[in-house]
Structure 1
Amino acid sequence: MAEALSKKEFSQELNNPECAVCLQPCVHPAQLPCGHIFCYLCVKGFANQNKRCAMCRQEIPIDFIEQPRLLQIPQPLEYSETEGFDGGYQWFYEGRNGWWQYDERTSKELENSYKNGDKTIELLIAGFLYVVDFENMLQLRRNDPSRRRQIKRDVSTIVKKGIAGIRTNSSLESQAVLSSSPTNEENSPLPITPSNTPQSPTSGRESPNQQNDLEATIESIQNLRIDTGDSIQNTKY
């Protein structure tokens, strides 16, 4: 019986491991090459600061933050009327060329503080303390207020880059569709050449109309020269 319980507890620990950094159940658990498991944002925090595992001090690969080994792939939360915040709202922070959705734990903290009418709240995100200003809808780093970004409370179905810095399947699919669509250059109409712009002939030889116009111009110049010569002779005599 004791053996059965230990197996069950071991299975639960694998499914919902505790993070040794924040001492809470892992949110988006990420496993380092050394085998230790932490919240993705906790890994991001100490990886950016010293680039080593918080438990064994083994070096973390440079590309781990961009390509983490996640035990659970985050999925966008499409809330029904009875789920989420007020029937389907979520919290987002500004990123480059788009919005990221906060992780579930941070979103709950933001929502509770927002509902309580608080003006600000302090959050520990990726190893840094941030102050969220609800009046101006800003997130500022506590020890460096110049590091700031906009936040917003919006419906969970808006187009987003992913969750807490992790791209979801839907965001990757949207990116693939955008990258595979024709470029503006392919769709843009060809420019129309103004009528007063000289046109190059389509071949090395000029067209019949152009040849006729050229001959008429030469003949007019020759007649002009003849008339001018006659008038000069009449003046002399």
Structure 2
Amino acid sequence: MAEASRKSQLGGPHTKEATEKGDNLECAVCLQNCVHPAQLPCGHIFCFLCVKGIANQSKKCAMCRQEIPKDFIEQPNLLEKPYQREASEGFDGGYQWFYEGKNGWWQYDERTSREIETAYKRGEQTSELLIAGFLYIIDLENMLQLRRNEPGRRRKIKRDFATIPKKGIAGLRTPETLVDSTEVEVSESSRGPVTPSNTPRSPTSGRESPGEDRELQETIDRITSLQLDTVLYDLH
């Protein structure tokens, strides 16, 4: 009875202190302690990856069915930043598990990394994990992550030091990569239209010397004079 009562409150209101710290929060999706707890606008709190799975599928809160904003996954309301605790933690002197993304590596979240490490230490060739609402097979023999129902969707994985350069943790960017990506966006947005290389362009310096102007005018005058001479010759 007590257990049923406890489960009925999962994902519901939490104490202010626990919410602010992000501690001892249980996720109503995976029924475990929240990893990177994220609070939706409706107030319900879940693991970030659990919210990501919901957003990719039903697009509604698992508790109250309120719609999840389209930009929530890119700009989540996190109660605990992933780099506050996980950035320096690791196994056997600082190792962590990573999966390959575009232009870099992402570190797995603490729970997933721990489950992969357990299978690795046991000498298992494969392990099956639930990540963001999808079942994945972790192939430790070939160091690959494959989606169970779509084996064509695969990523390389590796066990490496937690201190290596990375894009972030479990899809959440670290402050350094967040700043870098913002600078790139600002730099690109500040650029004007690029003129095609085969399009004639006028001088852009705006500092042509008076001598260049006189030479240009003299050339125009000579061409005009030649044209007039030709016309007069034809008339005679």
Aligned to 2:97: 91
Match of 1:69 among 71, 77, 82: 77
Aligned to 1:162: 168
Contact map agreement 1:31 1:71 (CA 8 A) in 2: yes
Give the match's secondary structure for 2:83.
coil
With structure 1 as the length reference, what TM-score do the two structures score? 0.68
2:69 counterpart of 1:57 = no
- 1: CA distance, partners of 2:56 / 2:186: 33
Segments of structure 2 that go 5 or more residues without pairing to the other structure are: 1-13, 188-210, 217-236
- 2: CA distance, partners of 1:11 / 1:58: 22
- 2: CA distance, partners of 1:142 / 1:73: 30
Aligned-residue offset at 1:175:
4.2
2:46 counterpart of 1:38 = yes
Aligned to 2:116: 110
- 2: CA distance, partners of 1:133 / 1:101: 17
Cα pair distance change 1:10/1:177, threshold 3 Å: closer
- Matches for 1:10-25 after TM superposition, within 5 Å: 10=15, 13-14=18-19, 15-25=23-33
With structure 2 as the length reference, what TM-score do the two structures score? 0.68
Aligned to 1:134: 140
Contact map agreement 1:78 1:88 (CA 8 A) in 2: no
Give the match's secondary structure for 2:164.
coil
- 2: CA distance, partners of 1:178 / 1:118: 42
Segments of structure 1 that go 5 or more residues without pairing to the other structure are: 1-8, 182-201, 207-237
Task: Give the RMSD, CA atoms, in angstroms.
Answer: 2.3
Whose Rg is larger? Answer: 1
**4+ residue segments displaced more than 6 Å:** 177-181
Give the match's secondary structure for 2:82.
coil
Contact map agreement 2:90 2:161 (CA 8 A) in 1: no
Contact map agreement 1:132 1:138 (CA 8 A) in 2: yes
Across the two proteins, how many residue pairs are aligned to each other? Answer: 175
Read off the aligned partner of 1:41 and give its amino acid letter.
L
